[in-house]
Chain A
């Protein structure tokens, strides 16, 4: 057993040395900064860009599941924060964010009703947050991809810009909900339709790893949820503005 532990110990040291390299690359950032690459997209938002240029009102519709809200009514969930930050940063544009919650519905069920939602509200941009409920019910990822694909196509046909938003990073339920297939498939659909993907999962994981938020802990109250949603709203507003002005990034 002696040799065993010696082997393991030295492996440990070696591992520590080598592993320190990638770890150092990611310095802890001050409160909820998002590294630029997580907010960079090659896809554009032409309708939003138009609205910003011409000063037309910018109507944004968030279609999402329960993770697009928290149990308060004062606009502290990310759609409300998005509206507040956009109004602040775009004083010349009338920004209006509305939310359409589709609780306990799979992407397939939501996709079927998307056109109707858009016809009613005629938004410039639809932010479609999906994947969580499908992952929880372990819907066949191929079916999921088909549904998201269909939904995005329908939205584009209806003449709106689209942003896809993926799952929350939820370390505590990681042993129960398998997110990767759904994350992968959303990325694929976003690429195929050339729509920006707001990688909520990677962003929240970055915050957790960087120590901005402890998302693992069990007993956080509403306060943590509010702060996370505030950060998400700010990141999302930057994402929207950058995608509408692709020239600024280069």
Chain B
């Protein structure tokens, strides 16, 4: 399983001037931006992969689920997604902030936040339609208790308002609200980074620690909490931003050391062994009880340290073994992934919609594993096709727009959700 995220600006091996990342090291006071030009295809590749995996994870478990990284370690596609989103957002809007100033950059970020918000509300509408249908057509005495979940339909007014406030979020619709909150704070993050990047990262770690120490969370409607706690997940986002703004380059020595590599592999292997015991309960007795008691539960809501470390290990190995000029990145085989990664907000929303639709089809037609597999695959084909259409619009149908070379704040590039 390869799906992994990475960091770019700091190439592990010093690549000579090949247009993308290095350069401009000395440009800005506290942060440095890579010069623009070609896109960093590795980011697109892994974000595209994260989108596919999120889609598959949102469907009921089936054959393809075996390909998602959450089966092989602690972290999953969400980590990749949030990290890359932080990276690209900082990359794009950080430049805007240096070139056009705080106000303009903030304005652009807020426009992006609005787009994501609208996308979220759109998805909620579709969700509501699906639920209402299920609620009216489902009569199974076996699940009379579970059907109580539809009770919120009795108060559509409250529910819809709470959804608009991002407090009512059905399962699988948690990522966009998290992203909205993180993007809202991006101006502040970038402003702090411009001042002192390392201090900003330290503050982020401190907030993470305080969140764990005092069990801070955002409440949800009708009760409960946000399934992705922004107070904890900001760590990945800020870390991504920090890497984009020069941190990755400064870490390059650590990243290329053999010790890092060894630790990463050892940790990934250990995590893999642990996850094996989840899927083959027969192996469970091999796990020392003391380790189990210390380790479980691995908290996704608050981005467990084990998950974060797992992501770091994956990232370190990826950066090491996948150079950014890897010829495979230009190969047509990876094109669908890269295209999806380049239009992440649209494709993410489409993925959530397709997961709903897939659920719906599975519920209506009892087709078994075969149908399940077909649905997963057609979802991925549709996502790739849509990404291709969107990029066609951008480059051919909408030529005049694409000719105005982006001056930073290109929403598409910072996209995500």
Known: A133-B145, A174-B171. Contact between A219 and B289, CB under 8 A? no
A43 → B minimal CB distance (Å): 11
Is there contact, CB below 8 Å, between B60 and A174? yes
Is there contact, CB below 8 Å, between A172 and B134? yes
* Nearest B-chain residue to A142, judged by Cβ: B215
- Chain A residues with Cβ below 8 Å from B292 are 191
Best-buried of A67, A211, A229 by chain B (most CB within 10 Å): A67
A81 → B minimal CB distance (Å): 14
Give chain A's interface secondary structure class. Answer: helix
Is there contact, CB below 8 Å, between A66 and B145? yes
- Chain B residues with Cβ below 8 Å from A42 are 285
Best-buried of B137, B145, B333 by chain A (most CB within 10 Å): B145
Is there contact, CB below 8 Å, between B146 and A132? yes
Q: Within 8 Å of chain B (Cβ to Cβ): is A112?
A: no
- Chain B residues with Cβ below 8 Å from A174 are 60, 171, 359
- Chain B residues with Cβ below 8 Å from A175 are 127, 130-131, 170-172, 355-356, 359
Is there contact, CB below 8 Å, between A191 and B356? no
Is there contact, CB below 8 Å, between A8 and B335? no
Type the 1/0 row for B346-385, where 1 means its CB is closer than 8 Å to any CB of A: 0000000001100100111010110001000100110011
In the complex, how many residue pairs between chain A and chain B have their CB atoms under 8 Å apart?
177
Type the 1/0 row for A207-221, where 1 means its CB is closer than 8 Å to any CB of B: 001010011111111
What is the CA–CA distance of A6 and B363 in the complex, to the nearest angstrom? 30
Q: Within 8 Å of chain B (Cβ to Cβ): is A185?
A: yes
- Chain A residues with Cβ below 8 Å from B368 are 211
Q: Within 8 Å of chain B (Cβ to Cβ): is A73?
A: no
A139 → B minimal CB distance (Å): 6
Is there contact, CB below 8 Å, between A215 and B142? yes
Q: Within 8 Å of chain A (Cβ to Cβ): is B328?
A: no
Q: Within 8 Å of chain B (Cβ to Cβ): is A91?
A: no
Is there contact, CB below 8 Å, between B356 and A140? no
Q: Within 8 Å of chain B (Cβ to Cβ): is A247?
A: no
What is the CA–CA distance of A241 and B88 in the complex, to the nearest angstrom? 58
Within residues 33 to 84 of chain A, which ones have a CB less than 8 A from any CB in chain B?
Answer: 37-38, 40, 42, 65-67, 70-71
Within residues 149 to 184 of chain A, which ones have a CB less than 8 A from any CB in chain B?
Answer: 168, 170-178, 181, 184
Known: A7-B333, A191-B293. Contact between A218 and B142, CB under 8 A? no
What is the CA–CA distance of A12 and B64 in the complex, to the nearest angstrom? 9
Contact count band on A: 35 or more
Is there contact, CB below 8 Å, between A70 and B142? yes
Q: Within 8 Å of chain A (Cβ to Cβ): is B66?
A: yes
* Nearest B-chain residue to A214, judged by Cβ: B366
Type the 1/0 row for B294-314, where 1 means its CB is closer than 8 Å to any CB of A: 001110110000000000000
Known: A1-B385, A132-B146, A228-B142. Contact between A138 and B336, CB under 8 A? no
Within residues 77 to 110 of chain B, which ones have a CB less than 8 A from any CB in chain A?
Answer: none
Which of the 9-residue segments B111-119, B177-185, B216-224, B259-267 touches chain A? B216-224
What is the CA–CA distance of A172 and B282 in the complex, to the nearest angstrom? 28
What is the CA–CA distance of A142 and B363 in the complex, to the nearest angstrom? 32
Q: Within 8 Å of chain B (Cβ to Cβ): is A30?
A: no
Q: Within 8 Å of chain B (Cβ to Cβ): is A224?
A: yes
Known: A140-B224, A171-B60. Contact between A19 and B388, CB under 8 A? no
Is there contact, CB below 8 Å, between A7 and B336? yes
* Nearest B-chain residue to A167, judged by Cβ: B146
Q: Within 8 Å of chain B (Cβ to Cβ): is A29?
A: no
What is the CA–CA distance of A3 and B368 in the complex, to the nearest angstrom? 30
Best-buried of A71, A136, A211, A214 by chain B (most CB within 10 Å): A136
- Chain B residues with Cβ below 8 Å from A31 are none
Type the 1/0 row for B314-346, where 1 means its CB is closer than 8 Å to any CB of A: 000000000000000000111110010000000
A172 → B minimal CB distance (Å): 6
Is there contact, CB below 8 Å, between B143 and A173? yes
Q: Within 8 Å of chain A (Cβ to Cβ): is B227?
A: yes
Q: Within 8 Å of chain A (Cβ to Cβ): is B67?
A: yes
7 tightest A-B CB contacts, nearest first: A138-B224, A3-B332, A19-B63, A66-B145, A225-B142, A225-B141, A184-B297
> Could you list some 25 contacts between A and B, CB below 8 A?
A3-B335, A4-B335, A7-B334, A8-B380, A10-B333, A16-B63, A16-B373, A19-B64, A20-B63, A22-B63, A65-B145, A67-B145, A132-B145, A133-B145, A136-B148, A138-B223, A140-B217, A168-B142, A172-B138, A174-B171, A175-B130, A175-B131, A188-B297, A219-B139, A220-B140
Chain B residues in contact with chain A, CB under 8 A?
60, 63-64, 66-67, 127, 130-131, 134, 137-150, 170-172, 215, 217, 220, 222-225, 227, 280-282, 285, 289, 292-293, 296-298, 300-301, 332-336, 339, 355-356, 359, 362-364, 366, 368-369, 373, 377, 380-381, 384-385, 388
